[in-house]
Amino acid sequence: MAIPFHEDSRGFSLIELAVTLALLGILSAVALSGYRDWQERAADAVAEADYRSVKLGLSGALLDENSPTTVVMRRLLGPGPLPAPLQSISLSQNVQVSIVYRKRIRRNQRPLTRTTIVVENVEGGKRFRLVEVNGAVVEQQIDRA
């Protein structure tokens, strides 16, 4: 069954097209902001995973009595492995790490150690920071960068 053609119907009016374009713009803006939030949360999750692995690896690698007295790594950007004594840990893409570890050895006393770890993803918004003195956590924070 054919639809009859009326001479006065010429297609869509300008108002109908403008309303349709406005609705499409609003929908795409909502979708794009949700997508950016999703990307930032994923980048923060990657940084948190690397933070946990660096924290565990550092405590394991430096518990040895023959460990170096000072380890300083400033702003290493992934991907790739960390230098010794943490060569078993590999950073993910766009993850930046900063580690300062110092061990002071005193005569007839237990060594004094201080560790500062900062891990962040350059695409994310969170920064993970840990400060330990003699294995006790003095400060641990998660900031919005």
Interval 88-136: pLDDT, tens: 888 888 888 888 877 777 777 777 788 888 888 888 788 888 888 887 8
Establish if 69 belongs to a structural domain: yes
Average pLDDT on 57-71 reads 70
Establish if 3 belongs to a structural domain: no
Establish if 8 belongs to a structural domain: no
Rounded to the nearest angstrom, the gap between the alpha carbon of residue 98 and the centroid of all alpha carbons in its chain is: 13
Predicted confidence at residue 25, as pLDDT, reads 93
Predicted confidence at residue 23, as pLDDT, reads 94
Establish if 5 belongs to a structural domain: no
136: its two tokens: 């006790």
Sequence-separated contacts (24+) of 38-43 with Cβ below 8 Å: 39/123, 40/123, 40/124, 40/125, 41/124, 42/124, 43/94, 43/121, 43/123, 43/124, 43/125
Report how many domains make up the chain: 1
Interval 14-55: pLDDT, tens: 898 999 999 999 999 998 888 988 888 888 899 899 888 888
Predicted confidence at residue 84, as pLDDT, reads 76
Closest CA to 124 of 48, 28, 33, 29: 48
Closest CA to 118 of 89, 139, 87, 103: 139
Establish if 109 belongs to a structural domain: yes
Predicted confidence at residue 1, as pLDDT, reads 59
Establish if 80 belongs to a structural domain: yes
Q: For residue 140, is pLDDT > 70?
A: yes
Establish if 7 belongs to a structural domain: no
100: its two tokens: 């300062």
Establish if 99 belongs to a structural domain: yes
Domain that residue 83 falls in: 14-144
Cβ-based neighbour number of residue 51 at 10 Å: 23
> Which of residues 126 and 68 earns the better pLDDT score?
126
Closest CA to 68 of 43, 39, 103: 103
Q: For residue 63, is pLDDT > 70?
A: no
